[in-house]
Amino acid sequence: MTTMATPRPFRLAAVLAGGVLAAGLLAACADDSASEGGGDGDTVTIRVQGLPPGTDQAGQDQFNAKIDEFEELHPDIRVEASTNEYDPQTFSALLAGGGVEDVIRVPLTEPQGLIQRGQVQPITGFLDEWEHAGELNPQVLEPISDADGEVYGIPRSPFALGLVYNRALFEQAGLDPDAPPATWDDVRAAAQAISDATGVAGFVHESKDGQGGWQLTMLAYAHGGELEKADGDTYVADFQNDAVRDSLGLLREMRWTDQSMGETQLLNQDDVIRQFAAGQIGMFMGTPGTYRLAKQNFGMEDTANYGVTSMPQAGGGATMSGGEIFMVPASVPEDRAAAAVEWMVFYYAEPQYDPEVAAAEAEALAQDPSAAVGVPTLPMFDDAQQQLINEAIAPHVNVELENFQPYLAGTPELELQPEPPLNAQALYQVLDPVVQAVLTDPDADVDALLAAAEDEANRQLAAAVQ
The CATH number covering residue 206 comes to 3.40.190.10
Among residues 403, 457, 459, the alpha carbon closest in space to that of 429 is found at 457
Nearest-angstrom CA–CA distance, 334 and 359:
33
pLDDT tens for residues 123-148? Answer: 999 999 998 988 888 878 888 999 89
Is 215 in the same domain as 72? no
Is 178 in the same domain as 278? yes
Domain-located, residue 101: yes
Among residues 120, 314, 358, 294, the alpha carbon closest in space to that of 220 is found at 314
Q: What percentage of residues in the chain have a pLDDT greater than 90?
A: 64
Query: For the chain, what is the domain count?
Result: 2
Domain-located, residue 394: no
Is 146 in the same domain as 168? no
Nearest-angstrom CA–CA distance, 116 and 318:
26
Amino acid at 142: E
Q: Of 89-93, 163-167, 285-289, which gets the smallest average pLDDT?
A: 89-93
Domain-located, residue 408: no
Please compute the mean of the pLDDT values over residues 166-175 and round it to a whole number: 98
pLDDT classification of 40: cutoffs 50, 70, 90: low
Is 293 in the same domain as 331? no
CA distances 114 to 41, 418, 438, Å, are 31, 16, 33
pLDDT classification of 333: cutoffs 50, 70, 90: very high
Residue 432 sits in which domain range?
A: 162-322+418-465
Domain-located, residue 136: yes
Is 137 in the same domain as 61? yes
Is 205 in the same domain as 354? no
Mean of the per-residue pLDDT values for the chain? 87
Q: Are 258 and 195 in contact (CB under 8 A)?
A: yes
The residue length of the chain stands at: 466
Q: What are the φ/ψ torsions at residue 445 (nearest 5 degrees)? A: -90, 95
Q: What is the dihedral of CA 237, 426, 348, 50, to 10 degrees?
A: 180
Domain-located, residue 402: no
Is 178 in the same domain as 302? yes
How high is the pLDDT of residue 376? 87
Is 99 in the same domain as 144? yes
pLDDT at 279 over 70: yes
Cβ neighbours of residue 203 under 8 Å, at least 6 residues apart? 187, 188, 190, 191, 254, 260, 261, 281, 282, 283, 284
How high is the pLDDT of residue 39? 52
Is 218 in the same domain as 284? yes
Is 225 in the same domain as 303? yes
Is 191 in the same domain as 152? no
